[in-house]
Structures are given as C-alpha cells and as structure tokens.
Amino acid sequence: MPNVKITLDGVQYEVDQKKTIIEAARENKVHIPHFCWHDKLSAAGNCRVCLVEVEKMPKLAIACMTQVADGMVVNTKNERVINAREAVLEFILINHPLDCPICDEAGECKLQDYAYKYSKGFSRFVENKVHKPKRVEVGPHVMLDAERCIMCSRCIRFCDEIAGEHQLQFVQRGDRVELTTFPGEALDNQYSMNVVDICPVGALTNKDFRFKSRVWEMSFTDSICHGCARGCNVEIGVRNNEILRLHPRKNDDVNSVWMCDHGRLDTWKSVNAENRIKSPMIRKEGQLVEVGWDEAIAKVASELKSFGKNEIAVLGSAFATNEDNYVFAKFAKEVLGTKNIDFARHLKGENDTVLIRADKTPNAVGAEIVGVHPSESGLSFEKIIAGIKEGKIKAVYALECDFASLPGVEEVLTKLEFLAVHATNENMTTKYADVVFAASTYAEKNGTMTNFQYRVQRIRPAVTTLEQDRALDNFEMSRWDKFASHNDKWGKGPRRDARPSWKIVASIAGVMGTKYKFNNADDVFNEICQKIEGFKGLSFLKVGKKGAALKQTTFAV
C-alpha cells in the first residue's frame, strides 16, 4: 500500500495512507490517550480524549477518526492539546464516582491512569453528582455499575461486531445517558466477559473475580487456555498460590485479544478444586491409599512386566503436553514394546465463527504428531476398548484423560486386570484405577502444546507444587531471594505433591531398566526437535510468547 510522510511532535514518519492518526502514532510508539478507540473495533469518536492539533486545521481533531495525509504535521502534547485534554477529563470526572479504593478496576483503570497523568488533579465541581443504577446483573457473568460508565460504547460495539449479538445499548440523553441491556435481552453470549477486559473503567466487572484481590497483589504468568483446540493466549492471575482469574493475551495469529467465557471461567478451577489428587495412590483392600512416589512407581513397573506386550495398551492424552506424550510414546515403544497406543478424542458441538472449536482438548494435534497413534498392527482407541471387553487387553496405562467418561467405556473397565492412570483430579477413571499418579496441571508445569492450526505454544508454571518448592529450596540463592521467590510469587497457598507426566514415565522407565536423560521439559522438547521433522529448528526460546507454526506437510502419522 502507498505510504505518506507525516510529522508527529517534530519527528517525521512514513506511514500507510489508510491509517488514522492514532494508528500511525501507535505504530511509531507515540502514545495518544484514548478511551473509546480500540484497535479491534470500529471507531466511534465518543470520548474526545484523543484530541490533537493538526497544522492548518482550524480546530483540534480527534486522532481516532482523522485519516493521515501526506505532509500532515501533528502535535500531540503542546499547550493547546494539553488544555483540551484536561478539560475533557474534567468533564468526564464531573459525574464519575470517586470510589477507586473499592473498585475492582483500580490498578488497571485507564481513567485512573489518565487522571493521574493528564488531568489537573483537582475538581471545580461542587454540585451533587448524577446517580445511576449500581450492582446491576446485566448477564450471568457480568455486573454493571452505571455510575462509572463513561459512555465509550466499546462494550456495545463488541457485542455487535465480534459476538454478533445486539445485547447492550445506551438509553436517555445528556448527562442522564446510561448503559443497559437491549429490551428482552441479557448479556449472555459466549464471549460476554470480553466487555470487562475492554471497559476502560470499572463499569463492567467480572462477577467471578469481583472483590477477590487487588491486581497489584497478584502475579501474572503467560500461558494458554486448554478449553479447546484453539489454545487462546492468556495471562494466569495468581495470589497465594491459587488461580483467581484468566485474562486474554493478545496474539493475532491465534485469538486476537479475545477468549470465550467457558475458557475464562471453567478451565482453571480444577487446579484449585477440593478433588485434586494430592499424592500418588495405590488400591489396597479395595480403597485407594496415598503412598510415596517410589512405591507407586515400583508397583506400576512390576505390574507392567507381568503382561505380554500385546496384552498392554497405553493411552496418551490430548490434555497433556507434547513433552508428556512424546516420552509416553517413547516408553510404550521402547520399554513396553506395545503397538497399542492411541488417545481419546473429545468432540462436542461445532466450531463457531469467532474462536470456539468442537475439539475440547488443547493438544490433539500435538499428541498425534509426537507419536501417540497406533502403528500398522496396533489398536486404535476404539479397538483398545473393544479389546478390553473381549479380554485381549488386560492392562492399560493412561495419561491425563478421563476416558471412562466417554460413552461405552466405563462398563468395560472392570474387566481389566490392571489400570494405572495419571490424573490431576478425581474422576470416573480414577475410580477404577489400581494406581493413580498425581499429575501436574497445565498451570503447574513447563511445556508446549500444538493447536489445531499446527501452532506450537508454551505453557508455564503459574502455581507451584511441593516438588518445585523442594527444587527451589535446594537451589543456591540467598535467604532473602528464597523468601522473595516463595512469598512474592507463590504465596502461602496449598501445594500438591504432583509431578509432570513425562517425569513420572521416565521414572518408571528407569526402574524397568531404561534410563532417559531428561532433566527438565526443555530437554524433552530439544529431543522432539531433533527426532520429529516438523519441529526441527525450534526451541523454547523460539516458541516464545506467541508460539511458532509448524508445516502440516511435514507429518506422516
């Protein structure tokens, strides 16, 4: 596209002629304050905070609606612009309640930041403020405080343009304007909570997170959502070693800046749940009893040795990482010698036009690519279940998947002579298990997953386990550094004696006479990148925060 030359605050830039001033400024690291403008929504020109001076124009122009032109000279911070900006902020604050100390948006509020940075710092307004509805449940997940609304219309445009459902609107006029739901509608679309993210003030808040914590008391870790095959990029917010919220992270190649309500609300609560598997367990006298890791590992190694290779089936997991599945497949083929290896698929509903995928697992593509699939003479998942029913498959070793919850599976598990599973939480499969290993959740370990677009993405530990605590205690650091690492990042919340699945499998392989020289997930991923064609040239560093795409044509599975 042809470019034009403009001058921003005395510096000349070459920009796309189709850009507006605010877009051109942003691309060149020149900040223009704004409320109503959002780069993923249409421009509305409501707030007027983005006023700038354009030479030869008689009036100040709003940067979000003014297209650049060749030779344009723009001032974003001269005295005239500063005075106008202060006036706009004073006008916005006239009826805005001064309740920052109790507002959930405090610490993340654009109005709070701009009032501190750009306003005069005092108010000349002495009259009573206009009062509007407070604590209004506009939908099942979102609370509205209409007094805080600055009428930027971001939420309305999001519902119309992204979610595709007209559920919010403005009513009344002048200073009585207020946000409300459209008659007969509730804010209940599958992406409703994105309005909380894009609201520049505390008018729309997350009912689930409301009053749980101040943002400055939390740590934030870059990761991905594991609610479906999309793998939306997220930040995991943690306080006292407990997850309090998930928040979308921008990645235009995956999820733009959005995420669905299911991913935001339902996918992480199992990490904090009461039914977490807290340590390894062995079934004794009909009951699962907590035991030490060495005893559980020895039990599985001993039992697996007692079966023929054709009597054993191993089930990987589309919920586990590439690293977990790779080591598991390696163990199945090199140590057990079985060809009966596959994983359960979890398809539910249909793909929508925004983000949601019918595949409700985060790593089905990755599991298959790294080797979790039957060889020519091996059994697929469906044939493994049939083999159990016929008595041909007598032992099953399974990763992090509640496969007993799938239709027709639970009733055949009683026919097994031995079942060992990795699990993060109690489920239908653990009820039938002879050995249960406490597996780390996606929020407690390092690794990668591959989404439906063949994009490899990182997960990182946001909360810590007992194993990570012990490693931290053994690491050479000062007493103060240890205190800071434990208390500032992790807090004093609950720990589980859980381990990454690849590490558990490697320990069993060691007892059975095969030593894997993996010290961490990075070592496993490096071997994947050496042995599997499509991964060659990658590393954790190259995957980075935004992921790295694989070429689909490189895989023969």
User: Per residue, what are the HEC states of 159-191?
Assistant: HHHHHCCCCEEEECCHHHCEEEECCCCCCCCCC
pLDDT at residue 468 is higher than 80: no
Does residue 221 contact residue 238 with C-beta atoms inside 8 Å?
A: yes
Q: Encode burial over 179-204: b for 16+ CB neighbours within 10 A, e otherwise.
A: bbbeeebebebebbbbbbbbbbbbbb
Q: Where are the beta strands (DSSP E) in 207-277?
A: 219-224, 233-239, 242-248
pLDDT at residue 546 is higher than 80: yes
Pairing of strands 418-423, 395-398: parallel
Q: Tell me the residue type at 330.
A: K
- Residue 471 backbone phi and psi in degrees, to 5: -65, -40
pLDDT of 476: 46
Going along the chain from its start, the domains and CATH numbers come out as 3-93 (3.10.20.740), 127-269 (3.30.70.20), 281-461+498-546 (3.40.50.740)
CA angle 80, 118, 130 (to 5 degrees): 105
Over residues 138-146, the mean pLDDT reads 95
Give the rounded percent of residues in the chain with a pLDDT score beyond 90: 81
Per-residue model confidence as pLDDT tens digits over 374-407: 888 889 999 999 999 999 999 999 999 999 999 9
Q: How confident is the model at residue 472 (pLDDT cuts 50, 70, 90)?
A: low
Reported pTM: 0.90
Nearest to 452 by CA among 527, 369, 525, 375: 369
pLDDT at residue 481 is higher than 50: no
Does residue 67 contact residue 24 with C-beta atoms inside 8 Å?
A: no
Q: How many Cβ atoms sit within 10 Å of the Cβ of residue 42?
A: 10
Q: How confident is the model at residue 120 (pLDDT cuts 50, 70, 90)?
A: confident
Residues in the chain: 557
Over residues 54-76, the mean pLDDT reads 94
pLDDT of 465: 83
DSSP H or E segment with residue 195: helix 194-198
Does residue 498 contact residue 467 with C-beta atoms inside 8 Å?
A: yes
Over residues 25-31, the mean pLDDT reads 94
Give the Cα separation of 220 and 233 in Å (integer). Answer: 13
Q: How confident is the model at residue 454 (pLDDT cuts 50, 70, 90)?
A: very high
pLDDT of 491: 54
Over residues 403-413, the mean pLDDT reads 91
Q: How confident is the model at residue 470 (pLDDT cuts 50, 70, 90)?
A: low
Give the rounded percent of residues in the chain with a pLDDT score beyond 70: 94
pLDDT at residue 96 is higher than 60: yes
Does residue 467 contact residue 496 with C-beta atoms inside 8 Å?
A: no
pLDDT of 35: 95
Nearest to 73 by CA among 153, 142, 165, 9: 9
pLDDT of 478: 43
pLDDT at residue 492 is higher than 60: no
pLDDT of 373: 92
Over residues 463-490, the mean pLDDT reads 54
Over residues 107-128, the mean pLDDT reads 86
pLDDT at residue 490 is higher than 80: no
Does residue 383 contact residue 217 with C-beta atoms inside 8 Å?
A: no
Q: How confident is the model at residue 494 (pLDDT cuts 50, 70, 90)?
A: low
Per-residue model confidence as pLDDT tens digits over 144-175: 999 999 999 999 999 999 999 999 999 998 88
pLDDT of 483: 39
Per-residue model confidence as pLDDT tens digits over 333-370: 999 999 999 999 999 889 999 999 999 999 999 999 99
pLDDT of 408: 87
pLDDT of 251: 96
Over residues 503-514, the mean pLDDT reads 95
Over residues 1-13, the mean pLDDT reads 90
Give the Cα separation of 354 and 258 in Å (integer). Answer: 9
pLDDT at residue 474 is higher than 70: no
* 423 CB-side CA count, 13 A: 25
pLDDT at residue 557 is higher than 80: no
Instruction: For residue 553, give every residue at least 6 positions away whose Cβ sits within 8 Å of its Cβ, in sequence order, or none.
Output: none
Distances (CA, A) of 554 to 324, 330, 533, 536: 21, 20, 6, 10
Q: Which of 84-98, 144-158, 491-505 has the lowest mean pLDDT?
A: 491-505
Find the radius of gyration of the CA atoms of the chain: 28
pLDDT of 477: 41
pLDDT of 83: 93
pLDDT of 484: 42
Instruction: For residue 429, give every residue at least 6 positions away whose Cβ sits within 8 Å of its Cβ, in sequence order, or none.
Output: 398, 401, 402, 403, 404, 405, 413, 419, 421, 423
pLDDT of 480: 38
DSSP H or E segment with residue 86: helix 79-93
pLDDT of 245: 94
Mean pLDDT of the residues in the chain: 91
Q: Which of 98-107, 382-391, 518-527 has the lowest mean pLDDT?
A: 98-107
pLDDT of 502: 96
